[in-house]
Amino acid sequence: MGLLDGKKALVTGARKGIGRGIAVTLAREGADVGVNDIVDDAATRQTAKMVSDLGRKSSVHVADVSKLSEINRIVDAFAKQHGGIDILVNNAIFPDQSRPFFDTDEAYWDRMMDLSLKGYFFAAQAAARHMVKQGRGGRIVSLSSVHAYRAWKNWTAYGVAKAGLKRMAKGMAVDLAGTGITVNCIAPGAINNALTEKGIDPAPYDLSKNPGLKSAVPSQRGGLPSDIANTVVYLCSEMGDYVNGETILVDGGMIASGGDM
């Protein structure tokens, strides 16, 4: 018996890394899982297979979740295919997340905000509409970041988007008062997102090869997708029913120590 038996969960950006870790861990706890990513490749299919290998229903939803029309298409398709949606995890991001301040042009800004802030908002809204109609509550989790708490050089656009999500969780908690839907964020620290051949966790970052990271992380290890996925499970289960509008840092103490590298 799992903590999420019978739940239907859609995870964006789930072809690898944290997204894959979340999708597979939710499935391990009994959820049926929809795997979204922008590309339908071997990695995307592998995540879906890892879900179905656990005996859960899996579905693949290829979409660019920075576009409202595609967000609505896959949320509706997921709900139709699975008979509803109980959990949405906003996790999608593109690889080039940092950019020097004066090189941050309008195109880059819009791309960052369209995916990470606007896209997360409208995906959450679409999911919440279904959840309110279903009348049995729900869980919305968005991936924020340590970059929401302090600046590192060249990360302003990303940090602004991730900080906005903290405020979005509070706003949605209030706007959805009385619906039984909780809305929260998780803020990861330095997590190894590499594509895995087996399982969900790559080797943690070798701190001896990353002296800056070693001094910045009191827990003295790199983070892993399972660190984030376990927190998602907590929030999405009965156990997390009274956590709402909150952002949980999962960073090994990086922000507590200032994160100086």
Partner 1 sequence: MDLLKGKKALITGSRRGIGREVAIAFAENGADVGINDVEKDAEAEKALAAVKKLGRKASWHKADIGDPRQRERMFDDFLKAHGRIDILVNNAVKTKWTPFLELEEDDWDFQVGHALKGYVFCSKRAANEMVKQGGGGRIISVSSVHSFRAWPRDTIYGIVKAGLNRMATSMAVDLAGTGITSNCIAPGYIDSRVLPAAQEKNRGGKGYADHAIPWIPMRRGGVPRDIANMALFLASDLSSYVNGETILVDGGLLAGGTPD
| Interface residue with partner 1, options 169, 185, 200, 213 (CB under 8 A) | 169
Q: Which residue type occupies 159?
A: G
Under 8 Å between Cβ of 119 and 65: yes
| Interface residue with partner 1, options 14, 24, 173, 213 (CB under 8 A) | 173
In Å, how far from its chain's centre is CA 258?
A: 24
Told to check if 164 binds partner 1 by CB under 8 A, we report: no
**CB nearer partner 1, residue 19 or residue 223:** 223
Phi, psi of 29 (to 5 degrees): -90, 10
Applying CB under 8 A, the span of 77-85, 102-110, 111-119, 229-237 interacting with partner 1 comes to 229-237
Place of tokens 């594509």: 195
Told to check if 176 binds partner 1 by CB under 8 A, we report: yes
Catalytic site residue 158? yes
User: Which parts of 49-68 interact with partner 1 (CB under 8 A)?
Assistant: none
Least spacing, CB of residue 225 vs partner 1, in Å: 11
- CA 96 – CA 85 distance, rounded (Å): 31
Told to check if 30 binds partner 1 by CB under 8 A, we report: no
Place of tokens 């592998």: 46
Q: What is the DSSP string of 173-222?
A: HHHTTTTTEEEEEEEE-SB--PPPSSSS--PPP-GGG-HHHHHH-TT-S-
Told to check if 192 binds partner 1 by CB under 8 A, we report: no
- CA 182 – CA 140 distance, rounded (Å): 6
**Residue numbers of the site for partner 1 (CB under 8 A)?**
169-171, 173-174, 176-178, 180, 182, 189, 217-221, 223-224, 227, 230-231, 233-234, 238-246, 248-253, 255-257
Catalytic positions are 158
